[in-house]
Amino acid sequence: MIRRALLAVLAAAVLGACSAPPLRVYALSGAGGGDEGLRVTALAKDGQLLVSFSLADGLTRELRQAIDSGLPATITYVVELRRPAALWFDGTVASATVTATVRFDNLTRQHQLSRTIDGRGEEPRVTEDEEEVRRWLTEFDRLPLFSTAQLEPNMVYYVKVRAHARPRLSGGLFFWPWGRGGKTGFAPRFTYLGDDRG
C-alpha cells in the first residue's frame, strides 16, 4: 500500500513538472488578460481577419547580446483565433505561427532578417539599422492570418498571441528551467457581425 501511494505521488510530481508551462498558459487564458508587453488587435476586413501585435520588450538585453554574438535569434508568435466557452476551455477556431529571425554578421555588420507565416517565408532582408531590426522582430501590422469564412456571424471571438524567443538565455535555478516562459497577449473580444463588418 505504501509503495503504491509513493509511486502515485512520484508520478504526479513528474507529470506536474512536465505539464507546468501549458497549465500556466491555460490559467492566463481569457480576453483582456495576458502580459502587458504584448499588445494584440484584430480587424476583420475584406474577408480576412487582420491581426496586429507588438511585443514592447521583445528585444531584451539578453536577446540583443545573443544577436550581437552572431547567434540567430528568433521570436515565435503563436496566434490563435479562439471562441470563448462558458463552462469549458475556450475553443481554438484557427491558429497560425509567425516567426521573425535575425542573424547579425559581425564581419559585414549587417543583419539578415527573415520572417515566416505558417512556414511560408517572405523575402529576406539585409539591414544595418538596429531600430529596423527591433521593429522586424517585435512589430507586426495587419497580418492576414485568418479568413473570416471560419467565423460565424454574431459569435464572440478573441485573438490570443503567445510569444517566446530563442535562444532562451535568462537564468533561473540551474535544475529548474521551467520558469522562463514566453509572453501572452489577447486582443479584445469582438462579435463577428458578418462579411466586411468587423
Partner 1 sequence: MLTLRDVPPPTRRPAVRPRGRRPFRDNPLQILAVIGLLAAALGLALTFASGSWRYSPDFLTEFVLYALSVADLTMILALVFVLARNIIKMMVERRRGLPFARFRSKLVGALLGMTLVPAVLVLLVGSELIRSNVDRWFNAPMEEIVASANRMASDYYSERQLLTSGTAARLSRALAALPFPEVDPVAVRDVIQPEVAQQRVSMVEVYRVARARTGAPVVSSVVDVAVPSLPREYNRASADRLAERVAAGSREAHGPEPLGNGGQLLRAAEPIRARDGTLAGVVVASDFLTSEMAARSRQMTDAYEAYNQLKVLKNPLLGVYLSFFLMVTLMILVSATWMGLYLAARITRPVQRLAAAARAIGAGHFDQRLEPETSDEFGSLMEAFNTMASELSVSRQNLERSARTLERQHQEVEARRRYIQTILDRITTGVISLDADDRVSTVNTAAARLLGLEGDQEGRPVGELLGRPDLEPLAKLIAVARPGDADKPAQEVSLAREGRELDLAVATATLHGQGGAIEGRLIVFDDITPLIRAQKVAAWREVARRLAHEIKNPLTPIQLCAERLARHFQGAPPATRELVTECTRTIVGEVESLKGLVDEFSQFARMPAPRRIPTALPPLLADTLGLYVGLFRDVTIETRFPADLPPVRIDPEQIRRVVINLVDNAIEAMDRRGRVVVEVQHAPAERLVHLIVADNGPGIPEGEREKLFLPYYSTKRRGSGLGLAIVRRIVAEHGGTIEVTANVPRGTRFTIDLPA
Which residues of this chain interact with partner 1, rule CB under 8 A? 2-3, 6-7, 9-10, 13-14, 17-18, 62, 65-66, 68-71, 105-110, 125-127, 166-171, 174-178
- What minimum distance in Å lies between the beta carbon of 24 and partner 1? 15
- What minimum distance in Å lies between the beta carbon of 62 and partner 1? 7
- What minimum distance in Å lies between the beta carbon of 32 and partner 1? 31
- Name the amino acid, one letter, at 85: A
Residue 123 C-alpha cell reads as 523575402
Identify which of residues 137 and 159 has a Cβ nearer to partner 1 in the complex: 137
Residue 108 C-alpha cell reads as 559585414
Identify which of residues 17 and 155 has a Cβ nearer to partner 1 in the complex: 17
Identify which of residues 17 and 156 has a Cβ nearer to partner 1 in the complex: 17
Identify which of residues 17 and 193 has a Cβ nearer to partner 1 in the complex: 17
Q: 7: how many CB neighbours lie within 10 A of its CB? A: 10
Identify which of residues 179 and 188 has a Cβ nearer to partner 1 in the complex: 179
Backbone angles phi, psi at 171, to 5 degrees: -90, 175
Closest CA to 72 of 121, 105, 48, 47: 105
Residues in the chain: 198
- What minimum distance in Å lies between the beta carbon of 105 and partner 1? 8
Cis peptide, bond prior to residue 153, ω within 30 of zero: no
Q: Beta strands of the chain (E only): which ranges?
A: 38-45, 48-55, 73-83, 91-105, 110-117, 120-121, 125-127, 139-147, 155-166, 183-186, 190-192
- What minimum distance in Å lies between the beta carbon of 12 and partner 1? 10
